[in-house]
A and B are shown apart, each in its own frame.
Chain A
Amino acid sequence: MRLPADAMVLRLVGGVMALLLLASAIGWVLSRVVTDATARATVDNINARIRAWWVMALVFTVSLTTGALGSILLFTLISFLALREFVTLAPTTPGDHRALFWCFFIATPLEYFLIWIGWYGLFSILIPVYISIFVAIRIALAGDTTRFLERTATTQWGLMVCVYFVSYVPALLMLRIPGYEHHNAALIFFLVLVVQLSDVLQYVWGKSVGSRPIAPSISPNKTWEGFAGGILSATAIGTAIWWATPFAPLQAAVMAFVVTVMGFAGGLIMSAIKRDRGVKDYGTLIDGHGGVLDRIDSLCFAAPVFFHMTRFFFTP
């Protein structure tokens, strides 16, 4: 027996609220007991993060419950902001200006428009095929050959990560899963919740018991202990909310495991870019977290894999 869609989302939202209340309470207690200056800074950062989580959870829930349009508009905005942070750090030249204008104002809205009208065939190849070719042509026409391949590839890559991959989140609404009609919003909730919880839990495990870094040259904060603890506990939570998905408990566990591992990989990849560009964060929009891209890096790489696994195994 499957819950009605609204009841499902309501339960998930209730769970998130309870978690955030708990986090806020712990943050408040920490801010009372910690007096040491360096620990104090960590606690202040944690509290800023928790406050930002409240805002993000609210925006996400509101747009998800306003239906397909709300979710699509939210992720269009996220892509736009993420691409902007990405391009700011990219070594572009004036020769890229026109191509970039197209990326922001034509390619991005078009990709999401295709989700809105449900044209899966074009949605899935628009950016990897047509926009990629277009970008190369437009940059070539501008005539600047300095680091041509690097500049073209950077722009194409930025579009892939910030727009194409991210658009797979609302694209989940397009899937027609037998016996799960009109429940797809809960599938988005499942993906985002598991991936983001995995980030948080990796941070919590890493801070408390982490000692052996996985890739010290990229990020000293990512440890084997944080990785294992975070992935396993997030997978456990994903399994526990199997009732919100079209998956059986074991299937939900596999799905949660895969998206958390992909999420970890995403965080690592996007950190490598930051390290190369010599910055700590992509932006400053979200207090305590950095930029939009810092928050969604894991989601970027988890979303397409989650979408295609669901599509391959659960749709006719």
Chain B
Amino acid sequence: MIASSLAVASRLVSGATVEWRCDPRARNQRIYFANHSSHLDFIVIWSALPPRLRASVRPVAGRDYWEQDRVRRYLAGRVFHAVLIERSTGVSTQSAAQAAVERMAREMGERDSLIVFPEGTRSVNGEVGPFKSGLYHLSRRRPDAELIPVHLENLNRILPKGECLPVPMLSRIVFGPPLATSASEEEEKDEFLSRARAALMQLRAIR
């Protein structure tokens, strides 16, 4: 109930046009990776999914943000079934990052899909920043899951970083075709990350 009314509200605020370039109803496990520019990003992607899939598509989010108060804790835990991870701070240790990837892979289990934001943080101006290595390690750990690039447009203008009230503008979400599996077993990390980023950038509207 809460979930579906939130989905309706987010659709009204974001006025999103949704475009699918892959099968929206496929039941296989997926990792949706998107550009990140607003607190609305996750819920907008989630509400664009077919209702039947929503229960099994879980966001990966920072524990520091989602455990700040009871409402957020409730939403993250009970409504979105978020996978909360420790965000690597400046002096991130290799092991913490590894543990986070391990958690994501484990939480997916046999059924669930994930929504991840490989830039790690929200972009200020709407440009897509460089990808952190998490996506690479996750894809290595779960080669069975389809990687779906998701491009979000205009959400940074609806609710920019640092603002708490949204301005209703129209946005656009494109779910791209699955990222091709790497040609060689030996694909370098950087090679993979730039390939993934390029696949995401390709979904931008041509103006």
Enumerate chain A interface residues (CB-CB to B < 8 A): 80, 84-85, 87-88, 92, 94, 97-98, 100-101, 104, 278, 283-284
Which residues from A are CB-within-8-Å of B207? 278
Q: What is the number of contacts between chain A and chain B, taking CB atoms within 8 Å?
A: 29
Known contacts A84-B15, A94-B160, A278-B207; A100/B154 CB under 8 A: no
Q: Which of B128-173 contact A (CB under 8 A)?
A: 154, 157, 160, 162-163, 165, 167-170
- Nearest CB of A to B174, in Å: 14
Q: Interface readout for B162-192 with A: 1 if CB under 8 Å, 0 if not?
A: 1101011110000000000000000000000
B17 within 8 A of A: yes
Contact A84 B169 (CB under 8 A): yes
**A284 CA to B15 CA in the complex, in Å?**
10
Q: 3 closest A-B pairs (Cβ-Cβ)?
A: A88-B170, A100-B167, A88-B169
Most interface-central of B17, B163, B167 (chain A CB within 10 A):
B167
Contact A87 B160 (CB under 8 A): no
Contact B170 A104 (CB under 8 A): no
Known contacts A94-B160, A278-B207, A284-B17; A87/B167 CB under 8 A: yes
Chain A residue at minimum C-beta to C-beta distance from B156:
A94
- Nearest CB of A to B204, in Å: 14
**A84 CA to B169 CA in the complex, in Å?**
5
Task: Tell me the count of chain B residues lying within 8 A, CB to CB, of chain A.
Answer: 13
Contact B165 A101 (CB under 8 A): yes
Most interface-central of A88, A98, A101 (chain B CB within 10 A):
A88
**A128 CA to B181 CA in the complex, in Å?**
58
Contact A101 B154 (CB under 8 A): no
Contact residues of A: prevailing secondary structure: helix
Which residues from B are CB-within-8-Å of A92? 157
**A101 CA to B164 CA in the complex, in Å?**
11
Chain A residue at minimum C-beta to C-beta distance from B157:
A92
- Nearest CB of B to A273, in Å: 15
Known contacts A84-B15, A278-B207, A284-B17; A97/B170 CB under 8 A: no
Which residues from A are CB-within-8-Å of B15? 84
| 29 pairs from A and B in contact (CB 8 Å cutoff) | A80-B168, A84-B15, A84-B168, A84-B169, A84-B170, A85-B170, A87-B167, A87-B169, A88-B154, A88-B169, A88-B170, A92-B157, A94-B157, A94-B160, A94-B162, A94-B163, A97-B157, A97-B160, A97-B163, A97-B167, A98-B163, A100-B167, A101-B165, A101-B167, A104-B167, A104-B168, A278-B207, A283-B170, A284-B17
- Nearest CB of B to A172, in Å: 27
Chain A residue at minimum C-beta to C-beta distance from B206:
A278
**A97 CA to B154 CA in the complex, in Å?**
13
**A73 CA to B154 CA in the complex, in Å?**
28
Chain B residue at minimum C-beta to C-beta distance from A277:
B207
Which residues from B are CB-within-8-Å of A87? 167, 169
Chain A residue at minimum C-beta to C-beta distance from B167:
A100
**A84 CA to B16 CA in the complex, in Å?**
12
**A97 CA to B162 CA in the complex, in Å?**
11
Chain A residue at minimum C-beta to C-beta distance from B159:
A97
- Nearest CB of A to B16, in Å: 11
**A152 CA to B207 CA in the complex, in Å?**
24
**A85 CA to B168 CA in the complex, in Å?**
9
Which residues from A are CB-within-8-Å of B154? 88
- Nearest CB of A to B205, in Å: 10
Which residues from A are CB-within-8-Å of B169? 84, 87-88
- Nearest CB of A to B152, in Å: 14
